[in-house]
Amino acid sequence: MRLGPISGIKERSTRDAVAIWVLLAVTYMVFAGSVSVNEGIAMVVCATLGTAWWWVVVRRGGVRFRFDRASLRPLGPAILGMARQTMRVGFHLARAVFGRAGGGATQEQSAAAIPWARPDGAIAPATRAVGLLAASLAPDSYVLSLDRAHGTVTTHALEGEAR
C-alpha cells in the first residue's frame, strides 16, 4: 500500500532526512550563541521536529517543486532592493507619526504583465511560489491575492506604488 502520491523515494528520503537534520542542528547551534546541555537538548528537539515536518510534507505532499535558474530570478532584485525599501518604509512611518502620510494603496494588475504569475511547465509551481515570495519580501509591499482564474494579481504598497 502506498502512503502518499510519491513512491520509491525511501532511500533518497532517508539520506535527505539525515542531511536536513544535521543542517538544522548546525544552524540552531550557530544561532544559539552558546554551547550548553540545555542548548544541546533544544537543538536535538528542534532539528528532530523540523526534520519530521519535512518528512511528512515530502511523503504526503502532492506538490513537488522543481527549481531552475529562471524560477529563482525574482529573488535577486527583491533581496537587493530590501535596504532601499526598508528606508522608504522608515521614512513613511516617520511621516505617519507626524500625521503627514497616508495608509497605502492597493492595485490590481493583469497576471499577463507579471512573468512569475503565469508560468507553465514542470517548474510552474516553484516559479509562482518564488515570485510570490519575492514580491512580498519587500517591506513596503506584498501580494494580497493571485487570482489565476481571472488572471489578476492584487498588491498593496505603503507608498501607493503597488507593483
Summarize pLDDT for 111-139 with one digit per residue, the tens.
888 877 777 777 788 888 888 888 888 77
- pLDDT tens digit sequence for 17-29: 899 999 999 999 9
Please tell me the distance from the alpha carbon of residue 79 to that of residue 93, in angstroms, as a whole number: 21
- Where are the alpha helices (H) located in the chain, listed in sequence order? 10-32, 37-60, 69-72, 75-80, 82-97, 124-137
Amino acid letter for position 75: L
3-state class (DSSP) for residue 156:
strand
In the chain, % of residues over pLDDT 70: 85
Give pLDDT tens digits for 28-80. Answer: 999 988 889 999 999 999 999 999 988 887 766 666 677 788 788 888 888 89
C-alpha cell at 97: 507619526
Among candidates 33, 56, 32, which has minimal Cα distance to 44? 32
Residue 123, CB half-sphere, CA atoms under 13 Å: how many? 12
pLDDT tens figures, 89-111: 888 888 888 877 677 788 888 88
Query: Would you state the pLDDT for residue 86?
Result: 87
Residues 6+ apart with CB under 8 A from 112: 118, 151
Residue-level pLDDT at 2: 43
Of 63 and 3, the structure prediction assigns the larger pLDDT to 63
